[in-house]
Amino acid sequence: MTGAAGSRGEAKDTGSGALRRTVPPARRFLARRKGVLARLALWSVAEAGQAFVVGYGVAHAVDQGFLASDTRRGLGWLAVAAVAVLLGAPVMRGVFAQLAGLTEPLRDGLVRRAVDRSLAGALARPGGTDRAAVSRLTNQVEIARDSFAGLVLTLRSFVFTAAGALLGLLSLHPALLVVVLPPLLAGLALFLATLRPMAAAQRRALAADEALGDHAARARAALRDLTACGTGPEVERRAAELVAGAAASARVLARWAAVRTAALGVAGHLPVLTLLVTVPWLRERGVTAGALLGAFTYLVQSLLPAVHTLMTALGAAGSRLLVVVDRIAGPAPQEPAHPSGRPPAADAVSPGDHGASVSPEDRGAPAAAGAGAAGTPRSARAARPGVPTARGPAAAVEFRAVTLSYGVRAEPVLDSLDLCVAPGEHIAVVGPSGIGKSTLTRLVAGMLAPSSGEVRVAGRPVTGGTADELGALRVLVPQEAYVFAGTVGENLTYLRPDACRADVDATVRSLALRPLVERLGGLDAPLRPDELSQGERQLVALARAHLSAAPLLLLDEATCHLDPASEARAEEALARRPGTLLVVAHRLSSAVRADRVLVLDGVRTVCGTHREVLARSPLYRDLTGHWNGGSHR
Ligand SMILES: Nc1ncnc2c1ncn2[C@@H]1O[C@H](COP(=O)(O)OP(=O)(O)OP(=O)(O)O)[C@@H](O)[C@H]1O
């Protein structure tokens, strides 16, 4: 549900696509069970006969018995009607006995299908998890089975009971059909018109439910990281959005249910009213009192309950069945989307969301430098050779009056910050502990939304971007480097799985990783994370970022475990890489290497070259003194 367009597309798909996909296998399923269907039809004919006899008996009891002063005959006809009612129980028993022959094979087939799909998904996405599989296997299969049983019961009952009752009305007097049929058909037409939108609403409600479950599962799995990265509020906000989305789908569903209730009123109760109102007209046409009573009996005893159960069952169970069966047996569902378009915060803490391939056009960054209150860049290195650069003056990173508070009454960590980082620029962020450096990088990465103002990356607002969109724009390398149990090569190419060997070799060379790769047994050797030092893990994470296609790299103290020489080599390699580099500096040398230094100092933020900020920022002078024992280089 990514916005209105997505919803519309899905609704459309539900209306026709799901039906198109579901009908042929449903036909095949039923064609293989002709015996069960024939037995079910026989029991249903008995049900129709029963419906016919009840009204017929009442009408004749009145006309030929009580009104003709022949009480015995009247009682005889009533006894016939009573026997017909009593026979309803064994008839229903016979129907239920046949029903299992349809519902149980359906359940088995759906379970098989759900398991096959989950296994296929697991093979196609090793390491990925299909959290909706459990829901499909248990809850949704049971929903499908129950809905199917209800549907067969009521559809069949409606068709045969209505046939019996309408035949009965016709046999009593054709004028009765003239009175009863129009409201009945109008109500049924209104009801049929609600089927498609109701199915779409049902599908959206299911998707919202799955997205909420998926988010909860992801958040639970990432609790430690969420706490470490402080993205709990984002996760909460996302959960609130998903809950709101689920509530909105439920409200839409409820609205359609109201329309359906109106249809039930028209089809179910209007015929009784029209029959009452038209009694004089019917009498003029020779409809007897007994026939009128018989007609009421048909309406109240057979037709109205059948219409009622049909609408309830076909409405709820029918659309539910269509949606659930299509979900299990139709095309594989896409990753749950996000109603607001905001990325799941639980993903945001994982390094996995940073890397996505990006087209060369997107990687190309215009060379024009932006300007902002925090200063104009001194120099911006050339953008990637061969990549178009004349795409307008979009800054690589732009803060427009950005304020960020972690709580409603909390002091803002960043207050009306303006900043403009030019494409290709290398910028260092410095400041005392707790001043907001990580907060700033999380804002740029789109993992935090500003309390006010706007953050743009490559000219696009990052707040509300999807994980894929953000992954194509930037890579954030946090202090705690992630490596995983795959091969060394897989760890390096994680953010760009299609990287060719030459690119990987170039990255290995740039970051002087060859000795480490050889010690680990080469690119194809398995990497065991616990055998790497923290510094080595950081080197792997930095190489991964180097290889990625994203035009903006954000290093949040990502070199803190490296020795100064390795740090210098890594930073220089990343700075040489086409694109923009923003580094939360861990050492003075890191700041000196950058084109510009952003000194975060509460409200007195200063930005400029190393020499400029040395002259303008007492805090920076203090920091350099502290870092370098009084010398600033
Ligand atoms: N999730 C959060 N909820 C509430 N307050 C937070 C959260 N994350 C950070 N803060 C507060 O915001 C301020 C800035 O934190 P931030 O981590 O951005 O600082 P920093 O400059 O990166 O610090 P350090 O250099 O120690 O990593 C701190 O006062 C911190 O306590």
Specify the CATH number for the domain of residue 135: 1.20.1560.10
Q: Per residue in 4-61, pLDDT tens? A: 333 333 434 444 566 677 778 888 888 888 888 999 889 988 888 888 898 899 899 9
CB–CB of 586/568 below 8 Å?
Answer: no
**In 3-state terms, what secondary structure has residue 28?**
helix
Q: Would residue 373 count as lying in a domain?
A: yes
Residue 542 lies in a domain: yes
Pocket test for ligand 1, best of 226, 409, 435 (most atoms within 8 A of CB): 435
- The rounded distance, in Å, linking the Cα atoms of 114 and 443 is 40
Model confidence at 339, in pLDDT bands (50, 70, 90)? Answer: very low
pTM summary value: 0.47
Give the number of the atom of ligand 1 that is nearest the alpha carbon of residue 600. 21
Whether residue 531 is found in the same domain as residue 564: yes
Q: Is 231 in the pocket of ligand 1 (CB under 6 A)?
A: no
Encode pLDDT of 152-190 as tens digits.
Answer: 888 888 888 888 889 999 999 999 999 999 999 999 899
Q: Indicate if ligand 1 lies below 6 Å from the C-beta of 406.
A: yes
* Whole-number Å distance between alpha carbons of 64 and 70: 7
Backbone angles phi, psi at 457, to 5 degrees: -125, 125
State whether the beta carbon of 435 lies less than 6 angstroms from ligand 1.
yes
For residue 320 and ligand 1, the question of a CB distance below 6 A is answered with no
Q: Are residues 111 and 228 in the same domain?
A: yes
Of ligand 1's atoms, which has the minimum distance to the CA of residue 233? Answer: 1
- Report the complex ipTM: 0.96
DSSP three-state, residue 74: helix
Distance CA(580)–CA(346), nearest Å, equals 26
Q: Is residue 166 within 8 Å of residue 299, measured between CB atoms? A: no
Together in a domain, 326 and 436: no
Question: Which residues are within 8 A (CB) of 358 and not within 5 positions of it... i.e. 6 or more apart?
Answer: 472, 473, 549, 550, 551
pLDDT at 508: 94
CA of 226 to the centre of ligand 1 (A): 14
Residue 435 Cα: closest atom of ligand 1: 21
384 φψ region: left (φ > 0), alpha (ψ -120 to 50), beta (else): beta
Q: Is 472 found in the same domain as 613?
A: yes
Let me know whether 581 and 621 are in one domain. yes
Name which of 252, 427, 215 is nearest 340 in CA terms.
215
In this structure, what CATH number is given to the domain that contains residue 600? 3.40.50.300
Q: What is the 3-state secondary structure (H, E, C) of 521-563?
A: CCCCCECCHHHCCHHHHHHHHHHHHHHCCCCEEEEECCCCCCC
Which atom of ligand 1 is nearest the CA belonging to 479? 27
Residue 98 lies in a domain: no
Domain of residue 123, residue span: 3-13+103-343
Element at 237 (helix H, strand E): helix 232-277
Asked if residue 441 has pLDDT above 90, the reply is: yes
Mutation test residue for ligand 1: of 229, 413, 417, 443, the one with most atoms within 8 Å of CB: 413
148 vs 67, 94, 142, 510, CA distance in Å?
46, 18, 10, 62
Same domain membership, residue 489 and residue 420: yes
Q: Is residue 600 part of a domain?
A: yes
In this prediction, residue 338 carries a pLDDT of 36
Question: Nearest 5°: CA angle at 346, between 578 and 415?
Answer: 70
**432 & 327 share domain:** no
Element (H, E) at 51: helix 34-60
Report helix, strand or coil for 48.
Answer: helix
Which two tokens mark 227?
Answer: 């706490």
**Does 478 sit in the ligand 1 pocket, CB within 6 Å?**
no
Range of lowest pLDDT (96-100, 395-399, 537-541): 96-100
Question: Which segment of 204-208, 263-267, 321-325, 572-576 scores lowest on mean pLDDT?
Answer: 321-325
Nearby residues of 326 by Cβ (< 8 Å), 6 or more positions away:
14, 17, 18, 21, 22
CB atoms within 10 A of CB 270: 16
Same domain, 190 and 271: yes
Gap from CA of 438 to ligand 1 centroid (Å): 7
For residue 103, the CA-to-ligand 1 centroid distance in Å is: 57
CA atoms of 222 and 242, how far apart (whole Å): 18
- Give burial (CB, 10 Å; 0-12/13-18/19+) of 39: middle
**572 and 622 housed in the same domain:** yes
Shared domain for 360 and 335, answered yes or no, is no
- Domain boundary residue, one of 316, 343, 370: 343
Q: What is the DSSP letter of 372?
A: B
Of 554, 273, 612, 240, whose CA–CA distance to 425 is shortest? 554
Q: Which of 288, 308, 343 is the last residue of a domain?
A: 343
Contact (Cβ atoms closer than 8 angstroms) between residue 121 and residue 130? yes
Average pLDDT for residues 124-147, to the nearest whole number?
64
Q: Quote the CA–CA distance of 443 and 348 in Å, as a whole number.
A: 11
Residue 431 CA: nearest ligand 1 atom is: 21
- Tallying the residues shown for the chain, one arrives at 633
Q: Which residue has a Cα nearest atom 2 of ligand 1?
A: 230
Q: Are 42 and 157 in contact (CB under 8 A)?
A: no
Query: Do 261 and 196 sit in the same domain of this protein?
Result: yes
- The verdict on residue 47 lying in a domain is no
Cα–Cα distance between 296 and 32 in angstroms, integer? 41
Which residue do the tokens 């170039």 mark? 506
Q: What is the pLDDT of residue 130?
A: 54
330 lines ligand 1 (CB under 6 A): no
Atom of ligand 1 lying closest to residue 584 CA: 22
Measured between alpha carbons, how far is 329 from 112 in angstroms, rounded to an integer?
10
On whether residue 463 sits in a domain, the answer given is yes
CA of 313 from ligand 1 middle (Å) equals 55
Residue nearest to atom 28 of ligand 1 (CA): 434
Evaluate: CB of 631 within 6 angstroms of ligand 1: no
- Residue 32's SS3 state is coil
How many CA atoms, within 13 angstroms, populate the side-chain half-sphere of residue 235? Answer: 23
> 580 with 553: CB under 8 angstroms?
yes
Tell me the average pLDDT across 514-523. Answer: 93
C-beta of residue 241 within 8 angstroms of C-beta of residue 341: no
Q: Is 411 in the pocket of ligand 1 (CB under 6 A)?
A: no
Name the H helices within 173-222.
174-221
Q: What is the pLDDT of residue 4?
A: 34
For 53-72, the pLDDT digits (tens) are: 988 998 999 989 998 889 99
Q: CB within 8 A of 235, min separation 6: which ones?
A: 215, 219, 226, 344, 345, 346
**Mean pLDDT in residue range 329-343:** 44
Confidence band (pLDDT; 50, 70, 90) for 469? confident
Per-residue pLDDT at 212 exceeds 90? no
User: Which pLDDT belongs to residue 352?
Assistant: 34
Give the Cα separation of 198 and 525 in Å (integer).
54
Q: What is the mean pLDDT of residues 402-431?
A: 89
Ligand 1 center from residue 433 Cα (angstroms): 8
pLDDT at 544: 94
- The CA 597 to ligand 1 mean position distance, Å, reads 20
How far, in Å, is the centroid of ligand 1 from the Cα of 437?
8
In a domain, 70, yes or no: no
48 in a structural domain: no
Number of domains in the chain: 2
Q: How far is the CA of 228 from the centre of ligand 1 (A)?
A: 11
The minimum-distance atom of ligand 1 relative to the CA of 439 is 18
Q: What does the pLDDT read at residue 18? A: 65
> Which residue pairs, CB below 8 angstroms and at least 24 apart, start in 624-633?
624/588, 624/591, 627/587, 627/588, 628/588, 632/588, 632/592, 633/588, 633/589, 633/592
**614 neighbors 596 (Cβ within 8 angstroms):** no
Atom of ligand 1 nearest to the CA of 556: 22
Domain boundary residue, one of 343, 359, 380:
343
Ligand 1 pocket check for 44: Cβ under 6 Å: no
User: Does the beta carbon of 281 sit less than 6 angstroms from any atom of ligand 1?
Assistant: no
Residue 254 has pLDDT above 70, yes or no: yes
379 shares a domain with 296: no
| Separation of CA 439 and ligand 1 centre (Å) | 6
